């Protein structure tokens, strides 16, 4: 081991602050992918904190349980807050307050410290907010999926398949380093660690175990719709259903009750920490077309992807076009899901093709690539 080199890497320590929200409306994906990055940064010796708004369904306690400081901003239902109607992105209300109020509250949470990186992962924030926060941040990074607004940042990550570098050409400064595509997808280290074994398992395609995971919150209870639709398939009664939800899911008890009534071997798990292992054991997944898409691809897991929100459609279309997944609109679950599964049961070739195509999309090493780029820019 190069002890001198190791000590040199450890001596360089960045202070990183994340601004991201979770709620019953937003879901948990933004905070969860920031946590993935934060854990890798901490593993490499850097310091991380979070700033989150106290929406219903926020993940402040969960972040704290992972041993990160989380500064909670005022609940938007309190008198000081008012919705921001000043931009046309369609996500302004996600913030719960106007951008100026959020900027001042974030500044107060961070000050008087100077941070090396401020990481923003929020569809309601743009260059106006970022310019205001430049007072306390040496560098600013944006995690985005939409390419629909201007940013003032040094580093931009858009991990989505189909997005091109030029989509952000007039959205970010010329100095901005752009990391585009699933090569930079934020996956926890257990995914690349389990990749080889998972891909070997896909060599004998079959459907005996189905992973159902439609987001940590699932406010519309799409999980229950999927479960009911499976009863209209010809799946054998010994088929195992691994159903995963978050602790904040409002329909959790209904899902649990429904699982007891199904003819299959169904289990419901909450806020799991072993999703990579569950994906390895699964033969196919029914899931949302969000960030977990890259986890499934890394492990070659065939997927039926349900479009839960319009901001997922581009990802879903790109993966379906690549032959890595089968796309299903939410309102077509009852009519089509059972038929799709029956067709896959009869066609090992189709199941194998989905797995083979998925594995080429993402190798699971994006998080470490991103940290390396943050360090490079910070030192420059």
Residues 170, 212 share a domain:
no
Q: Residue 373 pLDDT more than 90?
A: yes
**Number of folded domains in the chain?**
2
Residues 35, 177 share a domain:
yes
User: Looking at 92-96, 188-192, 296-300, which range is the least confident one?
Assistant: 92-96
Residues 177, 140 share a domain:
yes
- Please report which confidence band the pLDDT of residue 247 belongs to, taking 50, 70 and 90 as the band edges: confident
**pLDDT score of 83:** 53
| Residue at token pair 């992973």 | 211
Across 9-48, b (16+ Cβ under 10 Å) vs e yields eeeeebbbbbbbbbbbebbbbbbbbbbbbbbbbeebebbb
pLDDT tens readout for residues 204-225: 899 999 999 998 899 999 999 9
Residues 354, 260 share a domain:
yes
**pLDDT score of 12:** 86
**pLDDT score of 56:** 92
Domain of residue 225: give its range.
190-359
Residues 160, 29 share a domain:
yes
Mean pLDDT of 306-330: 92
Residues 118, 8 share a domain:
yes
Residues 205, 143 share a domain:
no
Residue 376 tokens, joined: 């490079």
pLDDT tens readout for residues 37-68: 999 999 999 999 999 999 999 999 999 999 99
Residues 84, 47 share a domain:
yes
> What CATH number is attached to the domain comprising 314?
3.40.50.2000
User: Looking at 9-13, 65-69, 189-193, 259-263, which range is the least confident one?
Assistant: 9-13
Residues 139, 32 share a domain:
yes
Q: Taking CA 254 as the corner, what is the angle to CA 248 and CA 260, rounded to the nearest 5 degrees? A: 125
Average pLDDT for the chain: 92
Residues 6 or more apart in contact with residue 343 via CB below 8 angstroms: 350
Q: Residue 317 pLDDT more than 60?
A: yes
**pLDDT score of 310:** 83
pLDDT tens readout for residues 74-133: 986 654 445 555 555 678 889 999 999 999 999 999 988 889 999 999 999 999 999 999
**pLDDT score of 216:** 86
| Residue at token pair 């926890």 | 188
Strand partners, 137: 115
> What CATH number is attached to the domain comprising 32?
3.40.50.11190
DSSP three-state, residue 59: coil
- Please report which confidence band the pLDDT of residue 10 belongs to, taking 50, 70 and 90 as the band edges: low
**pLDDT score of 309:** 83
Contact between 34 and 50 under an 8 Å Cβ cutoff? The reply is: yes
Q: Residue 4 pLDDT more than 70?
A: no
């Amino acid at each position: 081991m190069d002890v001198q080199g190791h000590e040199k890497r450890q001596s360089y320590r960045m202070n990183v602050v994340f601004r991201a929200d979770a709620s019953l409306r937003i879901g948990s994906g933004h905070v969860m992918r920031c946590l993935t990055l934060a854990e890798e940064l901490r593993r490499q010796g850097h310091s991380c904190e979070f700033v989150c708004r106290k929406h219903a369904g926020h993940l402040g306690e969960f972040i704290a349980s992972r041993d990160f400081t989380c500064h909670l901003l005022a609940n938007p239902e309190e008198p000081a807050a008012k919705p921001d109607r000043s931009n046309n992105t369609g996500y302004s209300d996600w913030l719960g307050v106007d951008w100026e109020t959020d900027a001042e509250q974030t500044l107060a949470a961070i000050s008087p410290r100077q941070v090396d990186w401020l990481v923003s992962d929020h569809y309601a924030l743009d260059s106006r907010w970022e310019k205001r926060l430049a007072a306390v941040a040496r560098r600013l990074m944006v995690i985005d999926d939409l390419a629909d607004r201007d940013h003032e940042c040094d580093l931009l990550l858009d991990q989505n398949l189909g997005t091109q570098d030029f989509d952000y050409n007039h959205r970010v400064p010329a100095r901005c380093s752009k990391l585009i595509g699933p090569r930079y997808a934020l996956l926890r280290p257990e995914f690349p660690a389990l990749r080889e074994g998972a891909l070997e398992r896909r060599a004998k395609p079959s459907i005996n175990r189905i992973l159902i995971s439609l987001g940590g919150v699932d406010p519309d209870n799409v999980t229950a719709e999927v479960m009911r639709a499976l009863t209209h398939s010809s799946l054998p009664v010994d088929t195992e259903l691994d159903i995963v939800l978050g602790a904040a899911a409002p329909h959790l008890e209904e899902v649990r009750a429904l699982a007891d009534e199904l003819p299959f071997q169904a289990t419901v798990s909450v806020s799991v920490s072993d999703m990579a292992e569950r994906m390895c054991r699964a033969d196919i997944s029914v899931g949302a077309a969000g960030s977990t898409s890259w986890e499934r691809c890394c492990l070659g897991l065939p997927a039926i992807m349900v479009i839960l929100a319009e901001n997922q459609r581009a990802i879903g279309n790109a993966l379906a076009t690549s032959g890595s997944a089968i796309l299903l609109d939410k309102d077509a679950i009852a009519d089509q899901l059972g038929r799709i599964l029956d067709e896959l049961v009869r066609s090992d070739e189709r199941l194998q093709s989905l797995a083979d195509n998925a594995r080429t999309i993402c190798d699971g090493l994006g998080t470490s690539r991103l940290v390396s780029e943050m360090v490079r820019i910070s030192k420059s």
